[in-house]
Amino acid sequence: MRVLHLLINGDRVTVAAPEHWTLLEVLRYELGLTGSKQGCDKGDCGACTVLVDGKPVLACLTLAALCEERAVTTIEGLLPAHVKSGGSGPDPVQAAFDECGALQCGFCQPGMMLSARALLDRNACPTRTEIQDALAGNLCRCTGYTQIVEAVELAVAKHCGVAPRRPGSARPRGRSRPPPRRA
């Protein structure tokens, strides 16, 4: 066992965990933060994606013992961080996923939204291709990805005031009204 001093979603936490545990195991089984999903558990699916110092990483392939002194953001931390920075309600990425119905079973969604957040933090107005590249490591077995990419585009459009340019289209394609909400 090893005592770890971690910084999770802005909170300093001290936790004892086996030496070989991954960040994902500590998040889920010591801290109860089950938003980070244990999918393949070997780096293929991206469902465990969290941000470490702002970069998307696979929590299943990250040793918790190597995360001390680093800022970890999980899906549970997005809304509090948004509120803390002066916003209200969920992170714009979360709101856009909600508005676009960009989920079915929901298993990939936390990782998707964190990959999208990492992208928008370094590039506030990405192109569709840049969005697709940023989400390349997050697999979804339900949606076919269309609404997921559209959700990120909606978040971008609301932030930048214009829709991202589509490959092959000369002008930005605006959305006249948001797609219907799914039950």
Q: Which residues bind another protein (CB under 8 A)?
A: 2, 18-20, 22, 41-43, 46, 49, 55-58, 60-63, 65-66, 115, 118, 132-134, 136-139
* Nearer of residues 66 and 105 to another protein, judged by Cβ: 66
Residues in CB range of 146: below 8 A, 6 or more apart: none
Minimum distance between the CB of residue 19 and another protein, rounded to whole angstroms? 6
Cβ atoms of residues 121 and 81 within 8 Å:
no
* Nearer of residues 31 and 112 to another protein, judged by Cβ: 112
Q: Is the dihedral of CA 62, 67, 71, 76 positive or negative?
A: positive
Minimum distance between the CB of residue 70 and another protein, rounded to whole angstroms? 11
* Nearer of residues 57 and 113 to another protein, judged by Cβ: 57
Residues in CB range of 164: below 8 A, 6 or more apart: 125, 126, 127, 128, 131, 153, 156, 157, 172
Minimum distance between the CB of residue 86 and another protein, rounded to whole angstroms? 28
